[in-house]
Every structure is written in structure tokens, then in C-alpha cells.
Amino acid sequence: MGYADLRELQTALTTASDIASSLQAAPTRRDADQLVDVLRQALTAASSLSTLTGPTGCAIHPNGAVDPLYGDPEDPLPPGYGKCLLCNDRRRRADAKPHQPYHWDRSEHALRRSA
């Protein structure tokens, strides 16, 4: 579904670009309506892309388990923890052994921020 949304977005944007490029100095109402329609399709497809990362919002484990403590007001997760149970579990193990280097944390942050 995510891939289909991406294809739909690319197709709609290409079509919008083609329509815009072919417009004359005084575009007709029909041209303008057609452009608005295809841009709406692009917007809808772009909005659907945010579901690509799955329930965890994690780029590595998009369909993994959500940490049951996520969003718990009485026992909040430490700063930097996300919704992904697998990643949080790794963070907990790394926090328990502070002398261990954990380079994975940095790359994962980069992925998370770009997502």
C-alpha cells in the first residue's frame, strides 16, 4: 500500500508538472480545474506516506511491537526513547552497561529524523 501511494504521488506530480508546463498565457477554467484535481491527488497520496513507517514509527522495525510503557504518564520512558519495543530494549541494555559503545543509536537517530 505504501509503495502504491508513492507511485500515485509520483504520477500525480508528473501529470501536474506536464499540465502546468503546457498551460498557455490564459489558461482555461478546464485546465485550471484539471490541475487542481491532480494536485489534490498528489496531496492525498503524500498524506498517506506517513503510514509507511507502521505502528512503531521505526525505520528498522516498522511492524514490530510498540513499547507498552510508551505514553505511560506514571512511568514515562527516558528521553530519546521511541515507540519501538525492540529499539527501546536495546537502549535499556545499553543504558545498563554505560561503558559499552553503542554506535547503532546514532545511525538510528539519523534514520528516525529523516523519516
Phi, psi (rounded to 5 degrees) for 77: -70, 150
Q: Does 61 contact Zn ion by CB under 5 A?
A: yes
Residue 90 interacts with Zn ion (CB under 5 A): yes or no: no
Query: Is residue 87 near Zn ion by the rule CB under 5 A?
Result: yes
DSSP string for 7-25: HHHHHHHHHHHHHHHH--S
Please count the other Cβ atoms lying within 10 Å of the Cβ belonging to residue 79.
Answer: 5
Segment contacting Zn ion by CB under 5 A, of 3-11, 19-27, 60-68, 98-106: 60-68
Q: Does 86 bind Zn ion (CB under 5 A)?
A: yes
Residues at the contact surface with Zn ion, assessed by CB under 5 A: 58, 60-61, 84, 86-87
